[in-house]
């Protein structure tokens, strides 16, 4: 089987048409069509359903796609290894992250060690990033919290306490820190379902039988901050994610009973990848503002 034909199949599948796929890999549309037809004839399968100008993957095409993606990544890594003799003089690293707070710090450290590696960052939720890792469209994920899945390796990067924040005119804003039970009955802004901060805080509140008055559920940090600025209620956020503003006041929880963790994720089957190892290694450099990574 020709790797050239598989490369063309992957490009056409990703871009949804022969013409766009051909442009992406620098060949003509007729050449792309001929290569796909040759692959189909060679194995007596239909890889795409042609619906006018639209292309849809057939069942065989859907099964072939993740294999072709893996082969494409391995081919690129082999090429980079042979071309640069393992020195990582060139290449691309694709990172998925749930937010910018730690990933920019990581990239800054990595670029200092490997300035010639091109880096692409995409922001999404945890589910989309894990899917991107599985599909080889991301090399490394930066996620909050530990997701138990043997398909992935997870490396602890940082741990931060969860803090509260309120409008400066709120009665609790007179204090630098408060006990957990001070939240009893307080108007509270809850993060969306699946939020690591929400899960960690709700677990501790339930354990201490403290029940704030939930006035709103908010699906982003930016919207949460705006609601607190408007005095709608109290918010909670990881200390690393808090952005100071003269209209709001950060309030610590006494004893720091609630913490969130940031982890680096990558596919276990790619643990030997040179570029992934280089990023994980650069991210293990001890910093004063985070816990050291476990050995």
User: What is the average pLDDT across 50-59?
Assistant: 84
pLDDT of residue 286: 42
Domain annotation covers residue 293: no
What does the alpha-carbon distance between residue 38 and residue 42 come to, in Å, rounded to a whole number? Answer: 6
Calculate mean pLDDT across residues 137-164.
91
Task: Please give the radius of gyration of the chain, using alpha carbons only, rounded to the nearest integer.
Answer: 24
- Which H or E element spans position 158? strand 152-167
Q: Are the CB atoms for 2 and 71 separated by under 8 Å?
A: no
CA angle 87, 88, 93 (to 5 degrees): 165
Per-residue pLDDT at 54 exceeds 90: no
Strands 187-191 and 213-218: parallel
- Residue 148 is predicted with a pLDDT of 83
User: Quick one: pLDDT band at residue 62, thresholds 50, 70, 90?
Assistant: very high
How large is the average pLDDT for residues 187-204?
Answer: 90
The tally of domains found in the chain comes to 3
Residue 212 has pLDDT above 50, yes or no: yes
| Domain residue limits at 265 | 84-157+261-282
Q: What is the C-alpha separation between 244 and 265, in angstroms, rounded?
A: 29
pLDDT, averaged across the chain: 88
Are residues 151 and 241 part of one domain?
no
Residues 224 and 273 in one domain: no
- pLDDT at site 83: 63
Between the alpha carbon of residue 262 and those of residues 125, 178, 197, the distances in Å are: 13, 25, 11
**Per-residue confidence (pLDDT) for residue 217, from 0 to 100:** 95
pLDDT band at 210 (very low <50, low <70, confident <90, very high): very high
**56: three-class secondary structure by DSSP:** strand
Q: In the listed set 30, 56, 82, which residue is the last one of a domain according to the structure?
A: 82
Pairing of strands 177-178, 248-253: parallel
Q: Do 145 and 272 fall within a single domain?
A: yes
Helix (H, G, I), strand (E, B) or coil at 261: strand
Query: What's residue 70's pLDDT?
Result: 85
Q: Which among 33, 62, 80, 10 has a CA at the least distance from the CA of 275?
A: 80
- Per-residue pLDDT at 290: 39
Beta carbons within 8 Å of 44's beta carbon, 6+ residues apart: none
Residue 213: inside a domain = yes
Position 277 pLDDT exceeds 80:
yes
294 within some domain:
no
* Residue from 20, 12, 78, 15 nearest 39 by CA: 12
The model's pTM is: 0.61
Residues 125 and 171 grouped into a single domain? no
Residue 229's pLDDT is 97
Tell me the C-alpha distance between 70 and 83, whole Å.
20
Q: What's 294's DSSP letter?
A: P
Bridge-based pairing state of the strands 54-57 and 213-218: unpaired
pLDDT band at 234 (very low <50, low <70, confident <90, very high): very high
Identify the pLDDT of residue 81.
67
Residue 293 — pLDDT band, cuts 50, 70, 90?
Answer: very low
């Amino acid at each position: 089987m020709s790797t050239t034909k598989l490369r063309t199949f992957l490009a056409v599948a990703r871009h949804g048409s022969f013409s766009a796929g051909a442009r992406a890999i620098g060949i003509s549309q007729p050449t792309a069509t001929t290569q796909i037809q040759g692959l189909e004839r060679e194995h007596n399968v239909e890889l795409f359903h042609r619906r006018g100008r639209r292309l849809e993957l057939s069942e065989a095409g859907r099964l072939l796609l993740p294999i072709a993606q893996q082969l494409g990544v391995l081919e690129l890594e082999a090429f980079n290894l042979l071309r640069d003799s393992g020195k990582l003089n060139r290449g691309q690293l694709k990172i998925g992250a749930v937010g910018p707070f730690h990933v920019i710090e990581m990239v800054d450290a990595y670029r200092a060690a490997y300035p010639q590696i091109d880096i692409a960052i995409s922001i999404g939720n945890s589910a989309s990033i894990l899917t991107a890792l599985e599909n080889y469209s991301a090399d490394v994920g930066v996620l909050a919290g530990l997701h138990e899945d043997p398909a992935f390796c997870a490396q602890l990067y940082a741990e931060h306490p969860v803090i509260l924040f309120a409008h400066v005119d709120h009665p609790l804003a007179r204090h630098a820190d408060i006990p957990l039970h001070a939240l009893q009955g307080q108007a509270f802004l809850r993060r969306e379902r699946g939020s690591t901060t929400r899960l960690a805080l709700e677990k501790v509140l339930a354990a201490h039988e403290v029940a704030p008055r939930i006035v709103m559920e908010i699906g982003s940090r930016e919207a949460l901050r705006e609601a607190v600025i408007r005095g709608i209620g109290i918010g909670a956020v990881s200390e690393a994610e808090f952005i100071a503003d003269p209209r709001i006041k950060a309030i610590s929880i006494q004893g720091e009973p609630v913490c969130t963790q940031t982890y680096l994720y990558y596919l276990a089957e790619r643990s030997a990848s040179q570029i992934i190892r280089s990023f994980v290694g650069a991210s293990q450099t001890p910093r004063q503002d985070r816990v050291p990574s476990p050995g």
